[in-house]
């Protein structure tokens, strides 16, 4: 069993940041899952409860800078926002983080906030890198891949994915004027890999129009 988080027999909701999520009332369904995973600064906001849910158990935090002090500051600020959002909605503070910067061995030097949470460093997932090449995989597809790869260790029963439209809509955390967040990633390649996992029964895609 993984020492990161106990998912044995549990249902995991991975909640993406697609603006299309705000057109579906999945909030209650997401909160009913045993483990809820969110990304970067997409912590729950009260005005979106009906659409995105209210709690977070695991935050996937992607470094926004190569400078150590700025990375630490971003981590601390993001972590505090997630914890406060859980407290505001009467949930236990969020205390599990997937961190996509495995080379940050310096983290111990800083003490808190790094020592106040259970951190799992992700690693390169060859199948996803190959599927997305030469484009870099997004943090979303990397996290989905990590949970699939670690199923034997984590022991989860179902993986449900919400807020996923492969950059077709804006990123709700930044607003409708922010445009497509595709950046250097390939929506076509990520969609192809993702849909293969759906067809294989490895995950359940809860689309906004369902």
Q: Report residue 17 CA to chain centroid gap.
A: 9
Domain 11-206 top-level CATH class: alpha beta
- Bridge partners (DSSP) of residue 14 are 37, 161
Beta carbons of 98 and 60 less than 8 angstroms apart: yes
Q: How far apart are CA 65 and CA 104, in angstroms?
A: 12
What pLDDT tens digit does each residue of the chain (210 aa) get? Answer: 466 888 999 999 999 989 899 998 999 999 999 999 998 878 888 888 999 999 999 988 876 656 666 777 777 788 888 888 888 888 877 778 887 665 554 454 455 555 567 777 666 678 888 888 898 888 888 889 989 999 999 999 999 999 999 888 888 777 676 666 667 888 899 999 999 999 999 999 999 866
């Amino acid at each position: 069993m993984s020492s990161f988080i106990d998912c044995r027999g549990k249902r995991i909701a991975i909640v993406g940041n697609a603006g299309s999520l705000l057109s579906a009332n999945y909030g209650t369904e997401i909160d009913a899952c045993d483990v809820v995973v969110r990304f970067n600064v997409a912590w729950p906001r009260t005005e979106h409860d009906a659409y995105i849910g209210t709690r977070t158990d695991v935050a996937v935090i992607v470094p926004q800078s190569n400078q150590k002090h700025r990375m630490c500051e971003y981590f601390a600020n993001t972590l505090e926002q997630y914890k406060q959002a859980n407290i505001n909605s009467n949930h236990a503070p969020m205390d599990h983080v997937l961190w996509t910067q495995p080379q940050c061995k310096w983290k111990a030097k800083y003490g808190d906030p790094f020592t106040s949470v259970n951190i799992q460093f992700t690693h390169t997932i060859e199948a996803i890198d190959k599927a997305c090449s030469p484009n870099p995989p997004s943090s979303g597809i990397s996290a989905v891949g990590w949970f699939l790869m670690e199923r034997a260790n984590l022991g989860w029963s179902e993986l449900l994915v919400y807020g996923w439209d492969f950059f077709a809509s804006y990123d709700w955390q930044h607003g409708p004027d922010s445009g497509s967040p595709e950046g250097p990633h390939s929506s076509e390649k990520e969609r192809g890999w993702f849909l293969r996992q759906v067809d294989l029964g490895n995950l359940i895609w809860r689309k906004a129009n369902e």
